[in-house]
Amino acid sequence: MKEFLHYFGIDISKDVFDVVNEKGHHSQYANSSVGFKKFYTQLPLGCCCAMEATGVYHQQLADYLYAKKVFVSVGNPLVIKRYIQMNLRRIKTDKADAQMICSYARQHTLTAYEPLL
């Protein structure tokens, strides 16, 4: 199991993506190249960015971070949903989902994202 110094859970929607780190700090960025750059500049070395597959919305951010050599994992949304249910979380907000994705990433072995050719 690969250990990281920092973990970021990312919940993506059409217009924005919410990020929560292992300390619970929340931030929100535009789901665009401007938002990707702003987020990347705030990432420390040795970090893990975890997100769930959300149709096409996750693709550009995952590709961007992969190109910048950041460890990215894109998980199955059903697995994340069951993890949230297993932890008896009833709050359904983007921030809460990002927090649970971060928690999931810290507790499980993740598969590294590889872009489609």
Q: Spell out a b/e string for 22-37, using b for 16 or more CB atoms within 10 Å of the CB, else e.
A: beeeeeebebeeebbe
Walk me through the domains of the chain, giving residue ranges and CATH numbers. 6-107 (3.30.420.40)
Q: Measure Cα distances from 54 to 1, 6, 34, 51, 62 in Å.
A: 25, 23, 20, 9, 11
Q: What is the distance between the alpha carbons of residues 35 and 1, in angstroms, rounded to a whole number?
A: 30
Global confidence as pTM = 0.91
What is the full per-residue pLDDT of the chain (117 aa) written as tens digits?
568 999 999 999 999 999 999 999 999 999 999 999 999 999 999 899 999 998 889 999 999 999 999 999 999 999 988 888 887 777 778 898 999 999 999 999 999 999 886
Residue pair 107/87 in contact by the 8 Å Cβ criterion:
no
